Amino acid sequence: MKKYLLSVATLLAGLSAFAQPQLGKDKIEDVIGAMTLQEKVNLLHGFRAPMGTESKFPGAAGSTYAIERLGIPAVWMADGPHRLVISPSRSFDSSVYNTTELPSELTIASSFDTKAAYKAGELIGQEVSDYGLDVLLAPGINLLRTTLGGRNGEYYSEDPVHAGLIAAAFVNGIQSKNVGVALKHYAVNNQETNRNQNDAIVGQRALRELYLRNFEIAVKLSNPWSIMTSYNKVNGEYVCESRFFNEDVLRSEWGFDGLVMSDWNAGRNAVLSIKAGNDLLMPGQDKQRAAILAAAEDGSLPMEYIDLSVKRVLEFVLKSHTFKNFQYPNETDLKAHSALAREIGANSLVLLKNEANVLPMTGVKNVALYGTTSYDIVPAGMGFGATGHGYYCVSLVEGLRKAGYSIEKSLIMPYQMHIQAENKKNYPNGLPPFSITAPLRADEFIPAPEMLEANVKANDIAIITLGRANGEGADRKREHFYLTANESELIKTVSEAYHAAGKKVVVLLNVVSAIETASWKDSVDGIVCIFQPGCETGNAVADVLSGKVNPSGRLPQTFQVNYGDALADANFPADYVFDMSAFSRAYAIDAKTAAESAKLKAEPVLKKDIDYTNYEEGIYVGYRYFTTFGKEVSYPFGFGLSYTDFSYELLSSAIEADKTTVTVKVTNTGKVAGKDVVEAYIKAPVVKRGLDKPARELKAFAKTELLQPGQSEVITLTWDSAWNASYNEKKAAWQMDKGVYNILICKDAQSEPVLTASHKIK
């Protein structure tokens, strides 16, 4: 009898499983139709395993919700952008899950090489796939509105076309491995200070031409699986709660058909988010679930909205490796990936100054390294979205030694001891993994005169490295743009001592945002902006210094003379000091009762640049301002030298209704092999009663292959002619003024064009 009962139960269970629609086998509508309201609500939120439960992928940022009875698995997402962020170790597992630390996003963008960005994407996509995850929460593509933006290293450029094209290539590279991305942080996420509440007050023209154009290009050219909305508000509305951003622009105008997810705990009103087309709330909070459930039950959130977002989540799940039961190897080719990281890093470094060909360091044997950063290099940024560093980093000392240089030994110990002492002073309780202010770095150590004298005698050249570390959670402050008194003193002392002996000095900038260079650049012979090139930093830098690789990177951001020179600087929290009481007030942390909390929130003290930021500069961000208004800069956007020279010949150009094309022949006229970057800008006509126009705007760029001396390459650049138009706020429409449009081929955003082609639009 017992046996009989059991088999009836098994049969019924089997039948009910059989009767359930299954994702992938049955129509999506039927699967949705079989869901309870609670299940639908659950699917609109990420899933966090209860504390103490073993995660499938320790260290991953989150997953979607699984409903086993309907064949819906959890899809796994992990942070990037330059490294797949998962924990290298797992409980009861002796394997190590290391992942490659690529150059930071900004470094990759500095290559001005979409092929390199594609390769970087392929590499990280391969690791996502090899370790069995589904989606990389990257890339971040917000504009570098100011030099102090805390996450600039996680972004690409001050120019939207540059950012958009690099992003599209990176995303295409990742998605070629059948895993997805979350293109982020959509949109206008240009400051970290008070990022969960800050309201970016930005005009429609700047919004369209700058802050949305990068996303538009990336969305149209790479069809990302998902978009992550940003924390901030724009013009009074949280982006995740805005139909304008998520439905009108992203979906209706640009044709995006994927999933929109929120940044982690972004927004305030979960119901509004779903109504706005922000389908998935990450990582998902109980109070959000409750609010959506209640709104669904009382009808204030109509079921069509819920069903539509559920459908988009399911379509996202359907694409995933996890859904397809992909058998992943759970290991990846780290060795090959390191070699590629090195190649991409070296391809991105920017040579800013090379007086009397001090570089490459041929004929140099003995090198003296100065600057604490020479012994404590910063391979990448920090924060949740760029968490920590990879499993190794080739130091500068190691990279140069491997390249055959002998490094001054007497400096190593004193520098190491100095750094240790400084870190102890700054962080008595140990170094934090990330910080709410830009992390303090050890200040400079100035070698004693006798030590310096001995170094000068024993070495052929001095290298000074200046570094800055920044990342998610805090913006840089004005003071981080400037050199400290000791940094200036170090440059002065070392330069004078080496120059007096007829020897040269090279400065390396280990930064992801401009720092002050104008006051000291004349006192040194060479400057290389090495950015943050990831795990292979020392090797990538040595490749360029030794001449094994000819530098071909270009600046993705203007190096301004002073902080305050850029128009946007006037509206940025450059001197912000974190104020816990204001923070508590804003979040009503101190409130004891709900009524008190409501009162505190109802009386906010809104502070300029903290609670709201006026984008008064409009479209005049970065070089658009400096070039148009003839303002002096230290190094312009797009600038970068080479160990060789190139000449240019215009072969053809045309502005047609749909596309604009320019074809240029580039010839290496120097003595060594090298790659060049062709930058094409448009100078649009300024007509009476028309719109004002920036003096030039980047529309396309390309990097040549490695050209041997005398060798040429024909480069054709093409872009959508619609990009030549400007946005008319009054008419709420794009406007192509009649007149002469000049296509300018330039070496950077400020110097005279090397070629010009004019076309009249009637």
Give catalytic residue positions.
263
Binding residue (CB under 6 A) for ligand BGC from 45, 184, 251, 353? 184
Contact 340, 119 (CB under 8 A): yes
Please give the distance of CA 755 from its chain centroid, rounded to a whole number. 31
Residue 184 burial (CB count, 10 A)? 27
Could you say whether residue 130 binds ligand BGC (CB under 6 A)? Answer: no
φ, ψ for residue 85 (rounded to 5)?
-90, 95
Smallest gap from residue 368 Cβ to ligand BGC (A): 40
Report the nearest approach of ligand BGC to the CB of residue 86 (Å).
Answer: 12
- Going by C-alpha positions, the residue among 465, 479, 471, 550 that lies closest to residue 509 is 465
Q: Which is nearer to ligand BGC, 114 or 229 (CB)?
A: 229
- Identify which of residues 264 and 646 has a Cβ nearer to ligand BGC in the complex: 264
d(CA 72, CA 442): 51
Q: Which is nearer to ligand BGC, 145 or 184 (CB)?
A: 184
Helix, strand, or coil (residue 473): coil
Per-residue DSSP letter, 249: I
Give whichever of 79 and 199 is closer to ligand BGC, judged by the CB atom: 79
134 binds ligand BGC (CB under 6 A): no
- Transcribe 602-642 into DSSP letters: HS----BTTTEEE-TTTT--THHHHHHTT--EEE-TT--B-
| Binding characters for ligand BGC, 21-60, by CB under 6 A (x = yes) | ----------------------------------------
Distance, CA of 224 to CA of 350 (rounded, Å): 30
Establish if 264 lies at the interface with ligand BGC (CB under 6 A). Answer: yes
Residues numbered 367 to 386 that lie near ligand BGC (CB under 6 A) are 384-385
> What values do phi and psi take at 230, rounded to 5?
-95, 170
What are the phi and psi torsion angles at 537 (to 5°)?
A: -45, -55
Under the criterion CB under 6 A, does residue 82 sit at the interface with ligand BGC? no
The residue among 184 and 675 lying less far from ligand BGC, judged by its C-beta, is 184
Q: Does 79 bind ligand BGC (CB under 6 A)?
A: yes
Instruction: Give the 3-state secondary structure of residue 299.
Output: coil
Q: How far is the CB of 133 from ligand BGC (least distance, A)?
A: 13
Which residues, 6+ apart, have CB-to-CB distance to 436 below 8 Å? 473, 474, 578
Task: Tell me the CB-side half-sphere exposure of residue 652, using CA atoms within 13 A.
Answer: 8
Contact assessment for residue 186 and residue 141, using Cβ atoms and an 8 Å cutoff: no
CA separation for the pair 21, 69 (Å, rounded) = 9
Please report how close the Cβ of residue 178 comes to ligand BGC at its closest, in angstroms: 21
Minimum distance of ligand BGC from residue 531's CB (angstroms): 20
The single-letter code of the amino acid at 365 is K
Q: How many CA atoms lie within 13 A of 142 on its CB side?
A: 23
Q: What is the DSSP letter of 246?
A: I
The CB-of-702 to ligand BGC minimum distance in angstroms stands at 29
Residue nearest to ligand BGC (CB): 385
Q: Nearer Cβ to ligand BGC, position 86 or 666?
A: 86
Q: Which of 113, 216, 263, 516 binds ligand BGC (CB under 6 A)?
A: 263
Interactions with ligand BGC, residue window 136-155 (CB under 6 A): 137
Q: Does 61 bind ligand BGC (CB under 6 A)?
A: yes
Q: How far is the CB of 593 from ligand BGC (least distance, A)?
A: 30
Does residue 609 interact with ligand BGC by CB under 6 A? no
Q: Which is nearer to ligand BGC, 233 or 696 (CB)?
A: 233
Please report, as ranges, the residues that interact with ligand BGC according to CB under 6 A. 61, 79, 137, 184, 263-264, 384-385
